[in-house]
Structure 1
Amino acid sequence: MRNIVNPPKINIRTDLRPGDLGYVACLHGRIYNEECGYGRGFESYVLEGLAAFLREYDPSRDRAWVCEDGSQIVGFLSGVHRDHAIQLRYFILLPEYRGFGLGKKLMQSFIAYMKEIKCSRAYLWTTREQETAIALYERFGFRLREEVPSESFDKVLVEQRYDMEL
C-alpha cells in the first residue's frame, strides 16, 4: 500500500477494457477480506455478478467508471440497467485513495449519467457495516428500504437495499 500525502491526479474513463473486470473482482476479494472478513462466498458473488454484467453489457444503457492513477486501477463504479431503474454496483476504492473526494466525484458522475439517460430511479445493495459508504450514499439521496439477514459472505451480517429517486 502506498502512502499518498497529496491528492493524486486520477483519470476516470468510462470504456471497459480487457482485464478491467477481472482486476475489479480481485480488488473486491482482497479488500473486503482484509477490511471486513468476507470470504470466498463474497468473491464468488462478485465474480458471478461481474460476469453477468460483461455478458449483458450495453454501452447505451450501462456505464462503468474506471479510476486510474497512471496505468493502475485504483477505483471502480458501475451503473447496471434494470427494468425501470439503474443499479449502482461494484463501488470500490483502494484504501490509500480514499479521502480525496474521489467517491464524491464518482457519485456525481453516476447521478449525471442517470439524468443523461433519463432514468429517475436507482438502487444499490450493501451491508450494514459499510458505514462510510452508506453515509456517502445518503448524502446523494439514497434511503434505506430493506434489510435482510445473510451469511452469504462467509459471516453473519445484514444486507441492506438503498433506493433513490431523482
Structure 2
Amino acid sequence: MFRQLLVNAARNFGARYDYDIGYLEAMVALSERGFLKLALLTPFTQERFGLPAAPYYAAKFIAARAMDCGSCAMLIIRMAEEAGVRPDALAAIARRGPADADMRLAADYAMAVITNTGELPALIETARERFGEKGLYGLASAVTAGQLYPTLKRGVGAALSCEILPAEFRETA
C-alpha cells in the first residue's frame, strides 16, 4: 500500500510536467526508504534562498543542460514557466543572446561553477553584490539541484534514452 502511494506521487509529478519517471518507479520498487530519502531532498532542490525565479531557473537550467539530459532540462523549463519565467528568456540564455542581466549573471555563474573556471571568484563576488549572501546560496543550490537528477539518471542508465533538447535551448557555437 505504501509503495503504491509513492509510485502514485511520482506518477503525478511525471504527469504534471510531462516527464518520464520510470527511473523513480524503479527506485521505489528497489527501496522505498531510498526513494523517501531522495524525496526529502526535494525541498532543498526547490529552495531559492530569496533569489528571484528568473536567475534561479537560469542557473538551474544551465546546470541541467550541462549534464546533456534533454528531458531534465525541459523539466526545469516547465517548472520555470510555472514560476513565471518565460521559456524564450531561457532560450536567450541558452543561445548566449541578449538577455536579462540577472539571468545572464546566473547562467555565467552556473557555467563557472560547473567548469571551475578562473572567472568563478569574480562571479561569486558579483553575484553576492547583486543578490546578497542568501541569493548566492540560491544560485549555488540551483546549480546543485540542476545536476542532481541528471547525474542519478545517468548513473542508473536511465539517461541513455534522454531526449535531445530542442534547438532553441541549445548553445550556439
TM-score, normalization by structure 2:
0.31
Higher-strand-fraction structure: 1
Q: Whose helix proportion is higher, 1 or 2?
A: 2
Larger Rg: 2
Provide TM-score, normalisation by structure 1: 0.32
